[in-house]
Structures are given as structure tokens and as C-alpha cells.
Structure 1
Amino acid sequence: MPVRSSLRTTVSIATLSFAFGALFLTAPAYAAKPVGSDKGAETEQEGGGDKTGIYAAARITYSGSVAPNGSKGNVTSADVNWTPPPCWYAPYLGAKDFKKKMSAEIEEAASAPGMTGTPAAAIGQTKAHYEDEYGWTDTPGYKDYNVAKDGEGMFWAGVENPNEPDYLKRNSCTDLPFWVDNGEAPPPQYEEAITPEILAALAYQHMELPGTEVTLAPAETTKVNLPTWAWLDKADFHEVQATASIDVPGFALSATTTAKPVSLKLDPGTPDAETYPASGECTINDDGSIGEPYAKGKADRTPPCGIKYLRSSGDGTFDLQATITWEIAWTGTGDAGGDLPDGTFENAQAVTVQEIQAVNR
């Protein structure tokens, strides 16, 4: 039987967290673990284990162009107000395994020193919630941890996003584990329950974009007041995809996030320079390339994408920043899909600028 309303109506989450300390309610359900090839092309989020050897059945698997070892990718959202989900609710354990884990933790918490008064009441109410069909007050419970329905569904629990730097946000999915029948949607009050859109955002966060270096002519060393051509070939500048999926008995979701390159912005690394075009924003060509390769006979032409330095770099170099903007879209289970904020990825490369030496006769 699904939980009809949040347990916060009877016992505050703060009280429950205090009662259980570092046990189940305050520990992340999953942690990242690499799988697949040694190239880091695939990672999975695996359930955390304890001394009983019980692991969460649900895993978020990442594949495609993703960062190795489940770490954060290199994409930066162009929308400073957009962030990936800090936490979510996902399938955790079947009824028998959940009973084994939860009952042991309740017993351990109840026997801890100082567990009297409000903390003891919170533990008692939580125990009743999972052992008594009627729970307490008007909140329905789970008779014997729903063991009679083992295999017909799973208990869901909160999952931390390990790449979320804000501790409070990362630990904000604190409702007690709740039951969901196979093939059914989670109760509507759990707005953070895993969805294709959440998976798409996680795929975005883990996406690894190619570190493409802009081709320059003249290469490496250029001259003051000499237009330097810049371009990216189509072969080096292509769309990439990352997929996040979860698949357990009775529940499966997947989402693929696609990044398509749309423009290149050049920052010369010094105010004493001009860019072509003046905005420094080079748009993508019809064939998927950016800019135009330099060739003999183009010396008197203005490059469609490039830079002109107005002073020497002396004994050092200028750091040319080449920022590629990527258009992000996603598709997922059930014909779901949409757009996510544009992503950016910046490359830096050193450019030496020399004075043109004049010869007097």
C-alpha cells in the first residue's frame, strides 16, 4: 500500500535524522562505481552495501560520451540558474531485503545510548510504520515490511547526487522509503522521483565533450597586425551523445542527451587585439565546420573567423580561449523529450605574437 502522505505530519524529519544518526536515513543510498571498459565510456550508480551484504537493486548506468569513473563531465551550462538534480528517489530494495536491512537498523538505533523521549518515540513510530498495517494516526503502514508482496514491487529511497556541492541540497530527499508496485508510478507527492527528464539532466552532467583545438594559420606563431585565420573541421566538430538508464524488474527508464555544436567564440587573451567577426562569435557553416581553412592566395582577404593581434606577446604568449557552444536536447522513455540549456566547453591554447621585422636598405 503506498504512503498516502508525508511522514512529516507526525514526526519531523529533523527528529528522525537525530534518532537514526548516521544510519539509513542520513546515508546516501547509492555511490558511483565504474564498470565496462577501461576507457571510462560507461559508469553506473550502484547501491551502497553494508555488513549484511545487501545492495540496492537499482543502478543508474551511464554510457556514450561520459566522464570516466562516474565523475562530473566537462560541460558548463550557459544558464547560470540551471543545475542538475541534487537528489532523487529511486527503486532501492525488494520487501524481504528491505526488512532485513531496515529492521536491523531500527534495532541498532533503539539500543543506542540516550535513545529516550522524542528520539525513542520517533524510532517506535518508524518501526510501527513498517510493521503495522495501520501505521499510526491516519498514515497507512506496511504490514511486516510488505513481505507478502515481495517481487511485486520495491521500496524506493532517496539518492544523493555525489556531484552536487551543496550539502543541504544533496541531502534534501529525506522522506522515509516508500513502496511502489511494479508498473505503477510513484505517489504524486514525491516530485523528485526518478523520471526520464532527471536521467537526461544527469546524462548532461556526466557528458564529456571533445577537447577540440582550433586550427590557426599562421600556426603557433603569428605577427602583429597580421590576420590569423581560425577554423574547425567538421570531422573534429561533431555532435555527441550520453545516455543514462535505470532497469530493474517492473521498472525501466532511459534518456539520451545529445549535444550539437553551434558556434565558436574566440577570446584573444589580450584587449590589444581584434576578432573576426567583431563579436568573436563564429557561427557554424552548412557543412558542419566553423570558419574557413587558410590557403595560398588568401593573404589579402579578411578571415571569416580569426584574430588580429595589435601588439607582441614579448617573451611570453597570449592564452587564446576558444569556447564552443553546444545545443542540448534529450529524448527518453515514453516519447518524452525536450531541450536543456546550451552547454559550453572552453579550450585554451598558447599563441606567440612577434613584431614584424623591417629591413632598411
Structure 2
Amino acid sequence: MKQKGSSSNGTLESRITFSGSTRGGAGASESVTPVGDWTPPACWYEPRSAEEFAKHVEDNYNETVNMPGQANYAKASVGQFRNKYKDGEYENYNLDKKDEGNWWVAVRDEDRWMEPEAQVCDKAPFWVENGDAPPVENAVTPQVLAELAYNRVQLPTTEVTLAPAAATKVNLPTWAWLDKAQFKEVSVTAQLNAGGLNIQATTTAKPVSLKLEPGTAEARTYPTSGECAINDDGSIGEPYVKGKAELDPPCGVQYLRSSGDGAFELQATVTWQITWTGTGGAGGELPDGTFGADQEVTVQEIQAVNR
């Protein structure tokens, strides 16, 4: 899957590709939400060879000036941009230096290009000699790739299994669990091969806990914190089996009043630990992520229950 982006002078397609558990894959899935104020980059800079950059500018110029009804100010703008790199500050797109460096260009996330964060990469295309570091923030690196992959990790839509399943009873502990098969790590790999740069990074999300919020203050959770830790086998909680009705579940909820004619919205939120590895042995941690889903729970008022 390619990432498309845009620049201030014509559409520019990113050279980054993504593979793994990405958006648009088979099956129901949801994006991970970072914990805290951190968000993945909404824009970044990528390298382009002199030939690629020259073709992009020339194609955009010709398309604009030859478009019927195109406004004069638009023609003037692309003309000024073209002149800067063809006959002005630079000479013929530095094609005679094509083996000595690359152009670096701004790219915006196709899903976030209108956000203020996507406008901070506002530096016009600039030349960088081979071996030199681009003098900007968000120049693409393995870590930037990992952060972009974070935004494309898709988690399986997970519904917590409850017992009783159809409807529970007031003061009756309801068991909750997630099987290992439903609750496993996922990963996305981002790769960039452009302008002589070939780097990649893999971002992995590993489930570590499940938090239950009953949807009413008149309830208690198991454990008291509502935070159910992952078991050694990768599952969460424990399936209910006959004969455990009098036991407290390792993960669950107990409602203290009826839901009446409606239902309570039980929210089950999974916390995912996010790590990454990349080219050259780079790697580290990224902010934890969460994904929560609501489930309707009907609670009936029955004083004596046999199960």
C-alpha cells in the first residue's frame, strides 16, 4: 500500500509503502489511539533524484499553464516555482549534479493534509549533498517511518466474551475474557526507497491489558481497578465454566442495579504496548495505544438465581 501526499506545487506521491496489519486489510479492524498528547507526524520530507524532481516540476507546470480556464495567478505561481529550480537560484534542477545529491521535498499525510500539523513542513524543495543530513525536522528516518506506521496499525475488532452472555442479573458476577486467538500482537512495516535512500521500520503493537468500565457507577469490577492483566498464555481473564458461580471472576463486573428497559454500555478498552525496529539496528518504544469498544449489557432484577 502506498502513501499518497501533496506538496504546495502539485500533487506529490510519497514513496513510502506499508505492509502488514494496515488500513484497508481484510476483516473488521480499528486504528490504535495513542495515550497522551502524542500523534504521528502529519507531514515529513523525502528525497527525490534530480530526474524525478525535474519531471515533477515540468509536468505540473505544463499541466497548469495548458489547462483551459486556469487562472493567471496559478500560472504565474507555477512559473515562478519552475524558474527558481530551472533558471534561477538553481540551474536546470541540478541535473549535472545528479550523482552528488538529492532534492528533499515535503509530503503531507493524505488523511491529515488539512490539519495545522500538516502545514509545518512548509520548506520549499531543497538540495542535500550525499552524506549530509537534511537541515529540517521530520526528515524521513527509520524512526519517522516507525511513527508513520503507528498511524496505520489496524487492530482486530475484539468483543469481550461475557458469561452470562444474553443477560446478567443484579449482584451476580459476570465473567469476562478474551481468548489468545483474538488477542495477539500485530505489526506494520514502512519502507522508503527513493533518492538513493533505502530504509525501513516495523512497528509492533502488543496487547498488555484490558480495562472494564461498567457504564454505571452502581457496579463493581474484578479486579477492583477494572484493569485485567494479560495471562502467561496471552489470553485475558478466564472462561466461565459450570461450578464457578460462587467464585469471583479474575476479570469481570458485578452490577448492583437493574438496567430497566434498556442496557448498560460496558466499555472494554485494550492497552497496546508499541515498539519498533528499523534499518541499522535502530529501535525503541513509542507511546502506548488503546482501542475501546462498547457492548450492551442487560441487567435483570432477580433475587434468586441458579446457574
The alignment status of 1:74 with 2:31, answered yes or no, reads yes
**Residue 158 (structure 1) aligned with residue 114 (structure 2):** no
Q: Kindly indicate whether the alpha-carbon contact (under 8 Å) linking 1:106 and 1:127 is maintained by their aligned counterparts in 2.
A: no
Per chain length, whose mean CA-contact separation is higher, i.e. which structure has more relative contact order (CA < 8 Å, sep 6+)? 2
Task: Report the 3-state secondary structure (helix = DSSP H, G, I; strand = E; otherwise coil) of the residue aligned with 1:212.
Answer: coil
Q: Quick check: 2:45–2:138 contact (8 Å CA) kept in 1?
A: yes
User: Which residue matches 1:98?
Assistant: 53
Q: 1:63 to 1:178 in 2, by over 3 A?
A: same
Contact 1:47 1:59 in 2 (8 A): no
1:29-40 equivalent positions in 2, closer than 5 A: none
Match of 1:44 in 2: 2
Match in the other structure for 1:88 = 44
Amino acid corresponding to residue 353 of structure 1 in structure 2: V
Say whether 1:198 aligns with 2:153.
no
What is the percentage of aligned positions where both structures have the same residue? 53
Q: Is the 8 A contact 2:6 2:13 kept in 1?
A: no
Compute the RMSD of aligned alpha carbons.
Answer: 3.1
Q: Normalising by the residue count of structure 2, what TM-score does the alignment of the two structures yield?
A: 0.84
Query: Is it true that 1:231 corresponds to 2:174 in the alignment?
Result: no
CA distance in structure 2 between the partners assigned to 1:127 and 1:318 by the alignment: 65
Taking structure 1 as the reference length, the TM-score comes to 0.72
Task: Point out the structure with the larger strand share.
Answer: 2
Task: Render the CA deviation track for 1:53-106: whole Å, top value 9, x for unaligned.
Answer: x9868521111111118xx95111112x201112111124x3234334435767
Q: Which amino acid aligns with 1:322?
A: A
Q: 1:334 to 1:298 in 2, by over 3 A?
A: same
C-alpha distance in 1 between matches for 2:171 and 2:13: 63
Over 3 Å counting, the alpha-carbon distance change for 1:174 and 1:337 in structure 2 is same
Secondary structure of 1:209 counterpart: strand
CA distance in 2 between counterparts of 1:47 and 1:341 reads 25
Q: Deviations over 1:300-359 (max 9, x none)?
A: 111111111111111211111000000110011111111011100001111111111569
CA distance in 1, matches of 2:215, 2:73: 62
How many aligned residue pairs are there? 294
Counterpart of 1:275 in structure 2 is 221
Mapped partners of 1:125, 1:297: distance in 2 = 77
Query: Partners of 1:47 and 1:349 in 2: how far apart?
Result: 37
Distance 2:298 2:81 in 1: 71
Please state how far the C-alpha of 1:145 moved relative to its aligned partner: 1.4
Q: 1:128 to 1:45 in 2, by over 3 A?
A: closer
Q: Secondary structure at the match of 2:155?
A: coil
Q: Structure 2: give runs of 5+ residues left out of the alignment.
A: none
